[in-house]
Structure 1
Amino acid sequence: MSVYGLYQPYKVNRPLNRSEKHHRLHQGRPAKVRYFNNEQSVIRINSTYLETVDKFHKEGGTDTQFFALLFFMLVSIYIYFLYHSFFLPTKGIKGTIIDIVILSVVTSPFYFFSGYFLLKQWFKWTHYPIRFNRKNKMVYVFRTNGSVLTVPWQDIYFTQDKEPVILNDWSIRGHILDSDGETVLETFSLGVCTDKSTTLEYWEFIRCYMEEDVVPELAELIMFCPPAEDRKEGFIFCLQNLLYMGSRLEWIFLPVMLPFYLVSAFSRYITSVTGKIPRWPREVLDACRPDPADPVSISAANNPEKMWRLVFANESHDAWQEKYDRMDAATNKIHAVLAKRYGHHI
């Protein structure tokens, strides 16, 4: 996970750099991928709009545990010192006041440091959704300050970009450029932060939704949706989100990792409970009103009843095979549609 763009604002009012130009992702041009990966980021999909979470959501809140521990440890020490100074005095009033001033001066930078990072996630928003409207070709981005960016799909400069972290994580940035086509005025990220090849698969999922007639097939590729729409996550989903396994081989590490997952899930839950639910403005809701007879409508309401089986990669063989066959058929159909339209260009 990278919090670049949340703790530290994106760099703007600058020219595009060489990497951004080299890794540009073009609208109207299919990427060469085998799979179309939604990375479990889809909140809702229908034939009018696709709504996703932001790139911070997958592990959102889990990094606050260190800052919370530091902050409340300092508070506890301070309270204990005050109690000891006033109720179990060993010095006079003057000496006690001097000690309190010294302690306050010494600890205040740590309070500011931990509090700053805590308040970047606590008491903010539960997530920062992005909505893609395929009917009017507009993109709506819920900014971290609560305002909404509305921009035409074709006017966004998309690019893969390396995250400024030690891990080899990449994300997809959307730049809003000045009239010169070179100066970055604003930046946002799509809802994925992972390896480079997966970000390309994610891009193609989004691009196909906006530009190709394959919405039912894309909907078939969604295994579950985060329950983020108009509500806050409960502790159970916070834990399920962190535990989600790609295969049963990951069971080997579960006994060691479970305590860490529990602590991280609790930290994520606090972020969810204290967060505000993002609300789209009326003009966005009106522009994205779906057809009541739309055959495609997938959201958290369609999540599997036996969610824990999915989380632990423990579905029955028949259920797994049926799901695999369905997703494979959808993937092959999307490739057939793209091949028919673009021929040898893919």
Structure 2
Amino acid sequence: MFTGWLKAFPSGRALSREERAAGLSSVSYDKVGLDEQLSLTRLNYNFSEFVDRAFRVRGSAATLLGFFSFLIVMGTILALWSLTYDLASGGKHDVVELLTTVCIGSVFLVFFLIAIWYVSLRKELFAYRYYPVRFNRTSGMVSIFRHNGRNGVLSIPFDQVFWFVGRGDRMEFLCDLRGAVLDGEKIVHMFSVGHYFEAAGEQRVRSLWSFICTYMEGGADLLAARGVKANIDLSVEPTWRNCWRWVMLTMGAPFAQLRYVLAPIYYPVLTIMAAWRWLALNSCRKPKWPLDLFSGRSSAIEPGAWREPALIGEFEVDPGARLQTPGGKR
């Protein structure tokens, strides 16, 4: 689930036999069943842009537990020093012994605090809202956003990336579209495009791959010719309504259908998880592409741009009929 995010993709090694066998071709791909799988954020005549697999799990229960643990440890440290001050002020305890004890205890707690931050929170809070991948059909390049700083964007020709169906490290039934940048046989950088999927995972990855290949081959016109509607369903704006809807979608249709029966459980859980996702995303910066990467041209207004929704599923007549959790069928 957290592959490629809290746990980085592998690098510095050769592709495994399984990864080689799962390779995808940009020449012989399915011409039917194209679907951006709720991963597309922008599309116009020049480029299309997608989130990576980490976007789906932002504000997860695992990092929420880490956040609560962080607060508990912080509170324990403050309470420990407050108690020490009260005892020292009373004059009945040796100040040196008290300070020695509290300092030793604080060191252990601070190490625990650092461990919690490093393992579960450093990429959740005060990072980036999402990490876009841009396919530029004009230049034939793929650009992977990593950070806003120097060398924060990696650009490479589309046909020089080894594309394959990736799988989770521990949960191998989770599939995603993955690209590997190679130097000879060695992996220099690995990244994902779009969400990860459980149900019909490989099929959904291939439909996303077909969407991308069709776009790179003939742009929006070819997508339209193959029956794809000019709609973007995913909004990456960190509003409360988007966070609420995203959590509701990822909880799945079965829970939504039973929401009135399970109301005492369903709505409190939904509210807590939506609030955590909202807090996490709003603590983060919006990714910004360097202007010099695209010849100094602003990409705010592009010809042939598809409408971008402010709300997830804004342009759907019946969002529930098409917008299912990324793990379910669409």
Equivalent runs, 1:79-228 vs 2, <5 Å: 79-89=78-88, 91-116=93-118, 117-143=120-146, 146=149, 147-166=152-171, 168-178=173-183, 180=184, 182-194=185-197, 195-212=201-218, 213-216=221-224, 220=229, 222=231, 224-228=233-237
Deviation of the 1:244 alpha carbon? 2.3
Distance 2:314 2:4 in 1: 35
Distance 1:234 1:38 in 2: 22
Aligned residues: 306
Distance 2:13 2:254 in 1: 47
Distance 1:259 1:115 in 2: 26
3-state SS in 2 of match to 1:220 = coil
Aligned partner of 1:121: which letter?
E
Once structures 1 and 2 are overlaid, which stretch shifts more, 202-211 or 165-174? 165-174
Distance 2:154 2:194 in 1: 16
Distance 2:23 2:296 in 1: 29
Task: Go from structure 1 to structure 2 and tell me whether the alpha carbon gap of 1:257 and 1:284 turns closer, same or farther (over 3 Å shift).
Answer: farther
Distance 1:155 1:31 in 2: 20
Of 286, 300, 313, the match for 1:277? 286
Distance 1:296 1:105 in 2: 54
Distance 1:310 1:93 in 2: 68
Distance 1:44 1:218 in 2: 18
Deviation of the 1:6 alpha carbon? 2.2
| Residue aligning to 2:269 | 260
Deviation of the 1:59 alpha carbon? 2.4
Give the root-mean-square deviation of aligned CA atoms. Answer: 3.0
Aligned partner of 1:110: which letter?
F
Instruction: Note the residue ranges of structure 1 that are not aligned, 5 or more in a row.
Output: 324-346
Deviation of the 1:123 alpha carbon? 0.9
Task: Go from structure 1 to structure 2 and tell me whether the alpha carbon gap of 1:218 and 1:84 turns closer, same or farther (over 3 Å shift).
Answer: farther
3-state SS in 2 of match to 1:124 = coil
3-state SS in 2 of match to 1:37 = coil
3-state SS in 2 of match to 1:24 = coil
| Residue aligning to 1:330 | none
Deviation of the 1:143 alpha carbon? 1.5
Distance 2:313 2:9 in 1: 37
Distance 1:148 1:5 in 2: 16
Deviation of the 1:187 alpha carbon? 1.0
Scaled by the length of structure 1, what TM-score is found? 0.78
Distance 1:310 1:192 in 2: 22
3-state SS in 2 of match to 1:135 = coil
Work out the percentage of aligned pairs sharing the same amino acid. 22
Distance 2:196 2:190 in 1: 15
Deviation of the 1:262 alpha carbon? 1.8
Distance 2:276 2:312 in 1: 24
Scaled by the length of structure 2, what TM-score is found? 0.82
Alignment pair present for 1:36 and 2:48? no
Instruction: Note the residue ranges of structure 2 that are not aligned, 5 or more in a row.
Output: 324-330
